[in-house]
Structure 1
């Protein structure tokens, strides 16, 4: 009789064992004083500008959705307003993802500046104060994505972004990019001759970030700092010991600050140099595995060589839509994740669809060592059932 009454509990315990993981409370439903730690046993799920496949990029809503969907890190791009406030925004101009063009009071703000050797015309973030930027609303970048959230969410500051991660119901890391540092330092002046990079680091330290990779301090507040500008990464290495990631652009695009070619910055000689300052690289995925006529070609040796230098590899960007999925994957993003994680062997993935990557990893995570052996599994089952049978 007792065994019958307890059967649901036994069944739940068996289900837990067979799944190979502990049953945890849903986010926000566990004890308020205890947060589930960051997982470090599989490649990192990096929410690229939040869950921006669903909600407009770099908004609070996109980051909250990514956390809800199980991301490990929320990623953002740091730029500056005219009055030196750090904001979360990808482009140096506001034209493509905000409603700035509909604000007649800003019609005279359009300018032309040189950006990485090219003249760009538009409404630049650093020509607007934070108060003015807060009047704008963000739109979805891609027309083939859900448009229902257009015009609903404002630009957020870097500090607001940090607060979102800090207030998450579990430990969620942040992954800020020092965006266009050359341009920011040219057009924004901070008191005391401080640089853009100084302000980023000051903000991180204000909220208690720091610590080397996988240290106790880092695990409490996980952080990767990323940039396409190697001189910025070298500079901040003297300011903060947090792990840094060197971003690598297309093979045709030189570095914005040192004008080095792709071949130069992916050479073994350069990896030997830059690994003094960074723990990994973040290349565009099509430079790891070249593409021709939307079919993947043979992989390069970039990941293998990076790993030889003890550098992690976090490629960008993984997207669910057929506009981005190569024909090899039969329109299935899970096939793409399987290829990059299990065949190429990357250590983290920048994705616009954090929920998809999280589900894939949850469904394909291997059983723990305890439950790989049928004998050990049966032993665990017996230990759960026998006490009730004796009763």
Structure 2
């Protein structure tokens, strides 16, 4: 199990460096490391033939050119994923050979037009492709670099006969990442993390927690009686996580607290008191993503990101997920310098 607190928080490139390049693209990950990231976070979903690919969601119309590809028009469909009805194209309906012909694009081009200028220039990556990027960057920089692998929609994929605990465990072993100290595996569903541990995966297991609702695996099992995320963040809820996971990663407002109030919550301290690591997501520089007290100017302009980033980092948190890796590194370094 990792230590309860890191002396210097990790800067984790959220889907690479999506403030500058389309998320989950090769250049996004390479740029994240070039800008100083300690780790990068890939979201993992599966293809029809069980290949692990990197997409924020299994529905891919917003992040690839699939809608412009007439040969795949027949695959457009409507599905319910974790109680949400979605219409589009889904990774589990493609083989890897088919999916590998697509190119990636910026998810929010109106906010990040510079990133969108790279649309259509790069293909979809597999988890194994990212492992090669990480290892190459680590060798070049002469320091350990990590992957923080998020497993998406595990209960949903299990129902399709694509058990992600089995697929991820096998792939991590195949590419030589099982047991590496730089490996973190996270999910909004604890059952897949427990399944990975049972399959012999050695990693830091981190439970992702939203501000509202309940985990999809618990809803599938318990329906309306499912324990909410809010209940899991009470003292009793955190006590129950000890020995099940190594850490907890939460939506940023759960660390910052009320939008209009100064200061931060005591969540990081409560996690550390139980020997659990603490993470927060996602730090972004644009005003539309900042807490109201840090916004300055137009919605898509950069606000007072320095103050928000340092407020979160100043809680003693173990790591933060950032879209603009260089800004996260700058905020952390300024905090370290102030502490002497």
- Give TM-score, length-normalised by structure 1: 0.76
Counterpart Cα distance in 1 of 2:334 and 2:254: 28
Counterpart Cα distance in 2 of 1:327 and 1:257: 33
Q: How many pairs does the alignment contain? A: 313
Q: Is the 2:256–2:311 Cα contact (8 Å) retained in structure 1?
A: no
Q: For 1:204-353, list aligned pairs within 5 A.
A: 204-211=172-179, 218=181, 222-238=182-198, 239-251=200-212, 253-259=213-219, 260-292=227-259, 295-296=260-261, 299-329=264-294, 330=296, 331-342=303-314, 344-353=315-324
Query: Could you say if the C-alpha distance between residues 162 and 296 of structure 1 is closer, same or farther in structure 2, counting changes exceeding 3 Å?
Result: farther
Q: For 1:147-158, list aligned pairs within 5 A.
A: 147-158=116-127
- In the alignment, structure 1 segments of 5+ residues that lack a partner are 1-39, 190-194, 212-216, 373-391
- The CA deviation string for residues 292-347 of structure 1, in whole angstroms up to 9 with x for no partner, is 4xx356644322221211111111000011111224235221111211112x3321
Query: Could you say if the C-alpha distance between residues 296 and 126 of structure 1 is closer, same or farther in structure 2, counting changes exceeding 3 Å?
Result: farther
Secondary structure of the corresponding residue to residue 208 of structure 2: strand
Query: Could you say if the C-alpha distance between residues 296 and 187 of structure 1 is closer, same or farther in structure 2, counting changes exceeding 3 Å?
Result: farther
Counterpart Cα distance in 2 of 1:277 and 1:198: 18
Q: Is the 2:256–2:312 Cα contact (8 Å) retained in structure 1?
A: no
Q: Is the 1:112–1:122 Cα contact (8 Å) retained in structure 2?
A: yes
Secondary structure of the corresponding residue to residue 18 of structure 2: coil
Counterpart Cα distance in 2 of 1:365 and 1:300: 21
Q: Is the 1:82–1:188 Cα contact (8 Å) retained in structure 2?
A: no
Structure (1 or 2) with the larger CA radius of gyration: 1
Q: Is the 1:296–1:326 Cα contact (8 Å) retained in structure 2?
A: no
- The CA deviation string for residues 130-163 of structure 1, in whole angstroms up to 9 with x for no partner, is 1111111111111210221111111100100111
Secondary structure of the corresponding residue to residue 183 of structure 2: coil
1:78 maps to which residue? 44
Secondary structure of the corresponding residue to residue 140 of structure 1: coil
Residue 181 in 1 paired to residue 154 in 2?
yes
Counterpart Cα distance in 2 of 1:323 and 1:272: 35
Aligned-residue CA RMSD in angstroms? 1.9
Counterpart Cα distance in 2 of 1:210 and 1:309: 26
Query: Could you say if the C-alpha distance between residues 305 and 362 of structure 1 is closer, same or farther in structure 2, counting changes exceeding 3 Å?
Result: closer
1:383 maps to which residue? none
Secondary structure of the corresponding residue to residue 93 of structure 1: coil
